[in-house]
Amino acid sequence: MRSRTLPIGLAACLTSTVLHAELSGDDYLGGGTIQDATERARVQAVIDAERQREAERAETLARERAQEEARREAERAAEAARRPQGEVLTETYCGACHAPEMLQSARHTGLGWTLTIARMRWLNGARIPPEDAGRIRAHLARTQPADPARAIVEYGLAGLSALLPVAWALRRWSRRSSATDRSPREPDT
């Protein structure tokens, strides 16, 4: 069974040595105490002056930070003003949901962009005002046009979809007219 006592050498060392604190109570006093009221007033004036300087430094620093932020905001506004309005609107409305890489890779004709924006507004709930939708469409059609093959497909599909109702109406009309043209034959005499 092991004993729970300190080793003899350590116990002897701890009991024979007097432990002292490194600082005495006098070391904590800052050069003595203030004896008279004039000395107290002078020290209080020094403290107040230092507080005042610190407040002025903090105020100056806050003012400089505000000026720097205003300067940065003005630079951002100037940069936005230099950029085409369609580009800014595209980033604002389309960039809310789509990554820039996705927007840059899409290619359509003006008709394709019109239909895409309409789909985003009506089916996906994008809150794009009509006046901004036109600017966005114009910007995208100018900066991200479709290649010729895609243009043929887009306009071909649009033409077919426009002709289908006309073809359907012509077919109905031709059926009606051919039914009315058929009259019972008169017997040959």
Domain ranges of the chain: 39-82, 85-173
Residue 118 CA, chain-centre distance (Å), reads: 23
Query: pLDDT tens-digit profile of 141-156?
Result: 999 998 999 889 888 8
What is the rounded CA–CA span in Å between residue 146 and residue 138?
13
Q: Which CATH number fits domain 85-173: 1.10.260.40, 1.10.490.20, 1.20.1250.20, 1.10.760.10?
A: 1.10.760.10
Please tell me the predicted confidence (pLDDT) of residue 77.
87
Q: Where are the alpha helices (DSSP H) in the chain?
A: 8-16, 37-82, 85-89, 100-105, 110-122, 130-143, 148-181
Please tell me the predicted confidence (pLDDT) of residue 25.
61
Query: pLDDT tens-digit profile of 45-100?
Result: 999 999 999 999 999 999 999 999 999 999 988 887 888 888 989 999 999 999 98
Instruction: Describe the crossing of helices 110-122 and 130-143 by its angle, rounded to 10 degrees.
Output: 140
Please tell me the predicted confidence (pLDDT) of residue 186.
57
pTM, 2 dp: 0.48
Instruction: Describe the crossing of helices 148-181 and 110-122 by its angle, rounded to 10 degrees.
Output: 80
What is the rounded CA–CA span in Å between residue 64 and residue 60?
6
Backbone dihedral angles phi then psi of residue 108, each to the nearest 5 degrees: -150, 165
Please provide the distance, in angstroms rounded to a whole number, between the alpha carbons at the two ends of the chain. Answer: 143
Upper half-sphere CA count for residue 173 (Cβ side, 13 Å): 6
Band of residue 39 on the pLDDT scale cut at 50, 70, 90 = confident
DSSP-derived letter for residue 90 is I
| 112, 137 Cβ separation under 8 angstroms | no
What is the mean pLDDT of the segment spanning 29-33? 60
Please tell me the predicted confidence (pLDDT) of residue 13.
56
Upper half-sphere CA count for residue 81 (Cβ side, 13 Å): 6
| 151, 96 Cβ separation under 8 angstroms | no
pLDDT at 17 over 70: no
